[in-house]
Amino acid sequence: MTQSETDGGSGSPTPGGGGEPRDGVMGYEQARDELVAVVRRLEAGGSTLEESLALWERGEELAGICRQWLEGARARLDAAIERDARGGEAEDEGVAGAERTGGNGGSGSEE
């Protein structure tokens, strides 16, 4: 199976799910498990040169799929951390604003 067969021809899986296949995209766990099996077969030896090369190529393909999922997960985490940091800044500004206006958020007059 080629990468275009596993990702619907888009060139990359759509990271973000729980690793479950979606629209023909191989999930992270499935790719990782198959990669482990490929590595075990290569380590066991006994394959012909042609079989070993095919296994190696498949392993590279699976490693690429896993890498894309992990990069997507990292991007989502970074975005969540950034959103959280921005949300914290907005909350801090709200507290500072309330302190400047006597705690009433700027509505009404200060005495």
Percent of the chain with pLDDT over 70: 58
pLDDT at residue 1 above 80? no
- Residue 106 gets which letter from DSSP? T
* More confident of the two residues 34 and 25: 34
CA angle (68, 72, 76) in 5-degree steps: 170
How much is the CA Rg of the chain, to the nearest whole Å? 25
CB 35 within 8 A of CB 57: no
Between CA 82 and CA 88 the distance in angstroms is 10
Q: What is the mean predicted confidence (pLDDT) over 67-94?
A: 87
Between CA 105 and CA 5 the distance in angstroms is 57
pLDDT at residue 105 above 80? no
